[in-house]
């Protein structure tokens, strides 16, 4: 198996795990070393198997950066909108799922809008339903 890393750099890949499934197929798991789009070529006897190459995207959620959040332990008034930015430029492509928990422990509705100048930076807005500290896991 050869993964093709972004920017056309090709490196061999060692399996993290390889499983024989009940139907006789093999399931291989591996971890990429770079975020981005990857082309995976699977060879049998030096030839590409049927359906290859395969494509996938890898991402690194620890590389997502939040900015513009109110300081910790600062009580936000109820009903006043709070905005912050989510920067995913270094994290790779993936779906964005934002959860904000109110001071009462409930999940708050959030609005996510893409920034017009950068598709990898989003503006998130929520309205606390009670005065206090809302939680944005990060």
Answer yes or no: do 54 and 77 share one domain. no
Answer yes or no: do 79 and 112 share one domain. yes
Among residues 48, 39, 31, the alpha carbon closest in space to that of 5 is found at 39
Residue 75 lies in a domain: yes
Residue 131 lies in a domain: no
Residue 134 lies in a domain: no
- The tally of domains found in the chain comes to 2
Give the 3-state secondary structure of residue 33: coil
pLDDT tens string 49-99: 889 888 888 899 999 999 998 777 677 788 889 999 999 989 988 888 899
pLDDT tens string 7-66: 333 444 555 677 888 998 888 787 787 888 888 887 778 788 889 888 888 899 999 999
Owning domain of residue 33:
2-58
């Amino acid at each position: 198996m050869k993964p093709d890393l972004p920017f056309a750099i090709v490196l061999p890949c060692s399996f993290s795990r390889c499983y024989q499934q009940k139907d006789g197929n093999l399931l291989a798991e591996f971890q990429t070393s770079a975020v981005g789009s990857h082309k995976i070529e699977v060879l049998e006897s030096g030839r590409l198997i049927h359906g290859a190459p395969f494509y996938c995207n890898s991402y690194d959620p620890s590389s997502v950066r939040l900015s513009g959040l109110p300081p910790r332990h600062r009580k936000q008034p109820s009903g006043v909108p709070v905005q912050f930015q989510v920067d995913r430029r270094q994290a790779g492509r993936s779906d964005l799922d934002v959860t904000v928990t109110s001071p009462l422990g409930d999940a708050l509705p959030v609005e996510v809008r893409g920034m017009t100048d950068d598709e990898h930076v989003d503006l998130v807005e929520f309205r606390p339903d009670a005065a206090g500290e809302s939680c944005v896991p990060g």
